[in-house]
Chains A and B, each alone.
Chain A
Amino acid sequence: MAARESGRIKDAYQKRVLDEAARKRRQRKALEALEQDNFHDDPHADLVMSKKVPKFQESLDSRGAGRKKKTKSAEYYKQRFRKTFAQLVEEELNFNRTPPNYASAQAPASRFPDRHFCAVCGFPSNYTCIPCGARYCSTKCLGTHLDTRCLKWTA
């Protein structure tokens, strides 16, 4: 390892260490990111008309045999059935506590130990970064990790 690199690693290690709560927060954020529908913003957000989606007028005629019925708008149903996922889970906790249900069906933790992979290259890793707890496989990857992630976007 180059002397410059080892000096830099030593520096980083002396600075500070993320506590358990911060590490958990980071992990939770990473999992939330895996649930996201989009990383970027709505490209039409600045358009006033962008909420208007096409109407499929033909479908209305084919629906009822002769009986012309007023159909309700998408917005109506948005308001009528408005409930977030968190609210639904909470409702179930309050009203349907007897398993089997959504909560009880969740797969339990494995009896096998976790596997560890380098946060930089993805290959199996044997080492843990002292400041943040990320895994790495080599001094080269540790260097990259310290330069790019480690404590750089601390929550």
Chain B
Amino acid sequence: MSNVSFILDNGACTAKVGLSTASPKLVPNCIMKAKSERRRPFVGSQIEECRDASGLFYILPFQKGYLINWDIQKTVWDYIFSKEQCSANLSQMPLFITEPHFNFPSIQEAMTEIFFEEYDCQSILKINASGLSCYHYRNKNPTAKCCIIVDSGYSFTHIIPYVNGVKVKDGIRRIDVGGKLLTNHLKEIISYRQLHVMDETYVINQAKEDSCFVSQDFYKDMNTAKNKLEINPIARDYVLPDYTSLRRGFLRQPEAPGEQQTLRLNNERFAIPEILFHPSDVGIHQIGIPEAIVDSLKACSEETWPHLLANIVLTGGNAKFPGFRDRVLKEVRSLAPSQYSVNVVRPEDPITYAWEGGKLLSRDSRLSSMIVTKEEYEEEGQAICYERFDI
């Protein structure tokens, strides 16, 4: 077997895709329709060809983090594997595909069927994205026996403890807060407080990415944000794109209203990411990330605690909020048993960290015992996948 594989980290919002010999491409995992372009929908990265992304309508394959709309997913996968994107010959190389934790059996089986029967895959490896992140981390930190992967993505946030590279299933925690909820909440409060932006998911998601940060002292920042503009270092204006002279919005110092349409962002800048730490702020009665890390820890045997706490890895798009790592560290430090040291790592690119783990895994000599080949599938059916893959 050649050691080139195709890696598809199939996120609910963004698919991270590419040959293991190349760099990952980020492809929106959806079909989008624009008000301005009535002739065609945009599949995946085709959205870059859209001149005016205002009022963009989304059709997503995933619901609540699980693959539900197979026609949409098939269309996006066809696009990803086409010459337009990656042009992979799947009958000649292994395909790595990620699935969410506790993926429902009928989705798992549908995935297997579609890849072997529709895409003619030579062999597949199904794994959680956090499994690839764990592999990546252990590859770079060979002495780390254990780690806790925090995967905070579009649909939800998972905390997954790994001991010697094996996930501790009883310790997995899911918080039903992800980037989608944060963007929708930001849309809601901006629409109520200043400008109707309910139809502008695309733009407000960018505003969130460009403006929000994780507070290190929440009530102190709340007090600061109450100050008038001259002595308020938090308030900013977000200049909205008009798609003639400006394609992406940007953050700037507050100014008197001028030609450009702007949003005034103040406590919104840190109250939005705060939901990851306090889901109850929006009425979701679940613990936030630091508490969930400690809850997850306590489901593991006590001898692993020092190793787990010393290797906490933050992945997924929400890990990109400035201040995220420091806040997680501070709170886990205060909640965890004080005799153990706590170390929290935010990789340089928390979005592609899992994909890069797949790239490293593709060169592993044990790979051939981890995959399921088309011959095995034809002989043993779905059973061999349940046996070999731990989803």
Contact = CB atoms under 8 A, between A and B. Distances in A.
A58 B106 contact: no
Contact of B198 (A39, A82, A96): A39
Contacts of B74: 74, 77
Interface of B: 31, 33-35, 38, 40-41, 43, 55, 57-60, 63-64, 66, 68-75, 78-79, 81-84, 87-92, 101-102, 104-107, 110, 114, 118-120, 158, 169-170, 172-176, 180-181, 184-185, 187-189, 192-193, 198-199, 201, 219, 222, 225-226, 267-268, 271, 278-288, 291-292, 295
A31 B286 CA distance: 13
A14 interface: no
A109 interface: yes
A7 B88 CA distance: 71
A119 to B, nearest CB: 9
Given A74-B71, A88-B106, A107 B286 contact: yes
B84 A56 contact: yes
Of residues B78, B188, B189, which shows the largest number of chain A Cβ atoms within 10 Å of its Cβ? Answer: B78
Contacts of A101: 102
25 contacts: A33-B188, A34-B181, A34-B184, A34-B185, A42-B33, A44-B33, A44-B38, A53-B31, A54-B79, A74-B71, A74-B72, A74-B78, A77-B71, A80-B110, A81-B110, A88-B104, A101-B102, A105-B173, A107-B286, A108-B287, A109-B280, A110-B278, A120-B193, A122-B189, A148-B192
B68 A83 contact: yes
Given A40-B55, A63-B81, 18 more contacts: A27-B283, A34-B181, A37-B59, A38-B201, A39-B201, A43-B33, A44-B57, A77-B73, A78-B70, A81-B70, A82-B70, A91-B105, A92-B104, A108-B286, A108-B287, A109-B286, A110-B288, A123-B267
A43 B55 contact: yes
Of residues A84, A85, A149, which shows the largest number of chain B Cβ atoms within 10 Å of its Cβ? Answer: A85
A110 B276 CA distance: 13
Nearest to A30: B283
Q: Chain B contact residues: over half helix, strand or loop, or mixed?
A: mixed
A121 B264 CA distance: 12
A115 interface: yes
B282 A34 contact: yes
Interface string A40-51: 111110010010
Contact of B92 (A44, A65, A92, A149): A65
B176 A122 contact: no
B102 A100 contact: yes
Contacts of B288: 110
A27 B105 CA distance: 32
Contact of B175 (A40, A91, A107): A107
A42 B287 CA distance: 36
Contacts of B199: 38-40
Contacts of B271: 117, 122
Interface string A118-155: 00111110000000000000000000000011000000
Contacts of B114: 77
A110 B60 CA distance: 31
Contacts of A110: 278, 280, 285-288, 291
B84 A58 contact: yes
Contacts of B170: 99-100
B280 A105 contact: no
Nearest to B65: A85
A35 interface: yes
A122 B188 contact: no
A10 interface: no
B120 A109 contact: no
A109 to B, nearest CB: 4
B301 to A, nearest CB: 15
A59 B104 contact: no
A92 B73 CA distance: 23
